[in-house]
A and B are shown apart, each in its own frame.
Chain A
Amino acid sequence: MYFVLRRKSALQVKIQWGPMCIYFPPTVGAGGGNDIQWCFSQVKGAVDDDVAEGASGIRFLTWKWGAVHTSEADIISTVEFNHSGELLATGDKGGRVVIFQQEQENKIQSHSRGEYNVYSTFQSHEPEFDYLKSLEIEEKINKIRWLPQKNAAQFLLSTNDKTIKLWKISERDKRPEGYNLKEEDGRYRDPTTVTTLRVPVFRPMDLMVEASPRRIFANAHTYHINSISINSDYETYLSADDLRINLWHLEITDRSFNIVDIKPANMEELTEVITAAEFHPNSCNTFVYSSSKGTIRLCDMRASALCDRHSKLFEEPEDPSNRSFFSEIISSISDVKFSHSGRYMMTRDYLSVKIWDLNMENRPVETYQVHEYLRSKLCSLYENDCIFDKFECCWNGSDSVVMTGSYNNFFRMFDRNTKRDITLEASRENNKPRTVLKPRKVCASGKRKKDEISVDSLDFNKKILHTAWHPKENIIAVATTNNLYIFQDKVN
């Protein structure tokens, strides 16, 4: 056993051995070290939809402040920053994708980073009807994943339960003018009246952002797609449903390879489904998938064409003191995300967030309790189906902090270095920009202190399932049911 001693600051030393570490003296108080103070920045909510027709018929939506109107189609179902963080995409239950763009930093107003404003809105998926099964296929966008930018245009993949689409989002800020073959209204002139040949020139125009579907990847999934993940080769991607994972090439839509199939020969033997899958950020042959039984399997595509046999199986043995009827349900993993470094992966189950070292399969290296006070309420949460809620989780850019959502519009952050955590609330009450968010605390039992909230007054209809962290800066996007909140750290 060897120790690593690091000086964290003038006042504190970190002693580390293996995955464990302690601080000496222990970090206490709220003001020490590199604390981030999170401030409200913006909130987006579909309220009054002003729909304006652009010159070419592209519909723009402008967003207004103040939530009044709530409609089910506006329920946000996914949130994702692009690789530079300049763009933020949301998908909703109505099949729409809204992309926000960060405005260029204002050199004068250096106390805050650029605001996010609507950049493009388009209808990605429409409801479909499967005539064979007499079923409607929901248009809800389950996931959005951005491709790295290769040219002026942006590309993203969006998926509903059955079909994945590749969208190209491009800007047009100039147009050719000076055609003399057409009239003003577009009608072609009589050719006999044309006496000169004029070459049109490009002239600036108002910026127009167009979204067009470039590929449609359909008919490959019998069950509901829960994940898509782009490979580090930037040529292929995977899509996962409850029982199968398929590998696609971004250029090829009529074929996909099945790489994982856990459907049993006898469906009566079905006891486990796939809940999430992701490619490793650096190794293009490696991916993981999580299950409803709390296991994560790491697979190497080089080993065989069908990766039914995992290379590694990550599973933490059940704690016998916590066993209950609901043990399996709460162990079901709702999200899995690799760290940016690729060394770790994070999983979210109902009550906790776990960090796994890819080199250690038998237990996570870190476990963070998100809302342990719910453990004694599992029966009620089973009754109202909240126990089946699927929370996502995300890493910050440096892999030092992880974030996930909870109920009552609370969300939680865990600092892996300091081992401190914080609970914040996404609410319109603090909607003055640069208002520092006040940490929240839930009182599990006993005497409730001032400013604490008791478990019984939590609103379980206000759940934060989707969160995203800017890849480079301390800017986070938090989705409540139908509002998108953007918070930034306080810039001094």
Chain B
Amino acid sequence: MMLSKGLKRKREEERETETLAGDAWWLDPSLPAAAQAPPATASSSLFDLSVLKLHHSLRQGEPDLRHLVLVVNTLRRIQASMAPAPTLPPVPSPPAAPCVADSLLASSDAALSASMASLLEDLSHIEGLSQAPQPLVDEGPPGRPVGGSPPSLGALDLLGPATGCLLDDELEGLFEDIDTSMYDSELWAPASEGLKPGPEDGPGKEEALELDEAELDYLLDVLVGTQALERPPGPGR
């Protein structure tokens, strides 16, 4: 996979050559480990890695729940430790419907998972976490209880605004063409039903994409929109 970002490749190579010997390379042995926080780049590459793991996990027919929960919790820790960027305005959180990944946990539904995974495959090549994630602001519609603490993060909440990616203009058309009726089908619809299957191999190094915030909102609406299903339409749609 061609990478236009030399910086990314260099980090990858660094990570590869690290092996087990140079794991906590930032640690100064003379100082206690606890006092030395890893630098931002270490956190962000760990974040990348965790997001890839999450993708891979979600792509399984029936994700290993323990693995998924541990990766999500680790992602939360990493995200919590990454310093917020001061410049960008806070991103409004997605509408009140539960985040799709949460619904993945909720239903453990293979078909939904597969369609989700393929959609994620299409558009989310996450890269460039030099721009740190935004803290989620709870700006749901009125009536939604607004607690003191931010809403608990679903797996995709972490993927969404946190990546701070911007969509290329040419990929706009991709979203307009998405036929959401495929998500209106009954939840058991097998993955083979016209959905573009994701590659079966493990988390590959995926290309960078950049989403601006409006596109991101639209995208999240599309994804979350799959949750607004009540009854499926009759056969022969």
Contacts and interface: CB of A to CB of B under 8 A. Distances in A.
Interface of A: 132-136, 222-224, 242-243, 266-273, 275, 292, 320-323, 325-326, 328-329, 332, 376-383, 385, 388, 455-456
A182 to B, nearest CB: 50
Nearest to B105: A267
A328 B74 contact: yes
Contacts of A456: 19-21
Contacts of B98: 266-268
Interface stretch (B84-92, B106-114, B121-129, B176-184): B106-114
B66 A242 contact: yes
A270 B23 contact: no
Given A268-B98, A377-B20, A383-B49, 20 more contacts: A133-B61, A134-B191, A135-B62, A135-B110, A222-B108, A224-B65, A269-B152, A271-B72, A273-B69, A322-B33, A325-B46, A325-B81, A328-B70, A376-B24, A378-B23, A379-B18, A380-B20, A382-B49, A455-B20, A456-B21
A292 B19 CA distance: 27
B223 to A, nearest CB: 14
A322 B33 CA distance: 8
Contacts of B190: 134
Interface residues of B, number: 44
B108 A326 contact: no
A388 B70 CA distance: 9
A424 B102 CA distance: 44
A234 B19 CA distance: 50
Contact of B70 (A135, A269, A292): A292
Interface in B24-64: 24, 27, 32-34, 43, 46, 49, 53, 61-62, 64
Given A321-B34, A377-B20, A268 B105 contact: yes
Contacts of B152: 268-269
Contacts of A376: 23-24, 27
A360 to B, nearest CB: 27
Interface string B179-214: 000000000101100000000000000000000000
Contacts of A383: 15, 49
24 contacts: A133-B109, A133-B188, A134-B111, A135-B61, A135-B110, A267-B102, A268-B102, A270-B69, A271-B73, A320-B34, A322-B33, A325-B46, A325-B77, A328-B77, A329-B70, A332-B66, A376-B23, A376-B27, A377-B23, A379-B24, A380-B20, A382-B46, A388-B70, A456-B20
B78 to A, nearest CB: 6
Given A267-B105, A455-B20, A456-B21, A325 B74 contact: yes
B216 interface: no
A383 B27 CA distance: 19
Contacts of B132: none
Contacts of A242: 65-66
Contacts of B24: 376, 379
A263 to B, nearest CB: 10
* 9 closest residue pairs by CB, A with B: A268-B102, A267-B106, A267-B105, A242-B65, A134-B190, A377-B20, A135-B61, A321-B34, A380-B20
Contacts of A266: 98, 102, 106
B135 interface: no
A417 to B, nearest CB: 33
A381 B49 CA distance: 12
Nearest to B76: A271
B74 A134 contact: no
Contacts of A272: 69
B201 to A, nearest CB: 14
A438 B142 CA distance: 70
Contact of B65 (A243, A268, A269, A323): A243
A225 to B, nearest CB: 12
A227 B23 CA distance: 34
Given A267-B105, A268-B154, A329-B70, A133 B20 contact: no
Contact of A380 (B23, B102, B191): B23
Contacts of B131: none
Contacts of B34: 320-323
Contacts of B103: 267
Contacts of A385: 53
B67 interface: yes
A134 B105 CA distance: 17
Residue among B24, B99, B111, B191 with max Cβ neighbours from chain A (10 Å): B24
B72 to A, nearest CB: 8
Contacts of A320: 34
Given A273-B65, A325-B74, A379 B110 contact: no
A133 B110 contact: yes
Contacts of B109: 133
Nearest to A272: B69
A360 B78 CA distance: 33
B30 to A, nearest CB: 14
Given A133-B188, A379-B23, A270 B105 contact: yes
Contact of B64 (A135, A224, A321, A326): A224
Contacts of B46: 325, 379, 382
Given A321-B32, A321-B33, A273 B78 contact: no
Contacts of B154: 268
Contacts of B32: 321
A269 B102 CA distance: 8
Nearest to A383: B49
A13 B21 CA distance: 43
Contact of A328 (B73, B81, B111): B73
A326 B43 CA distance: 12
A243 B69 CA distance: 12
Contacts of A243: 65
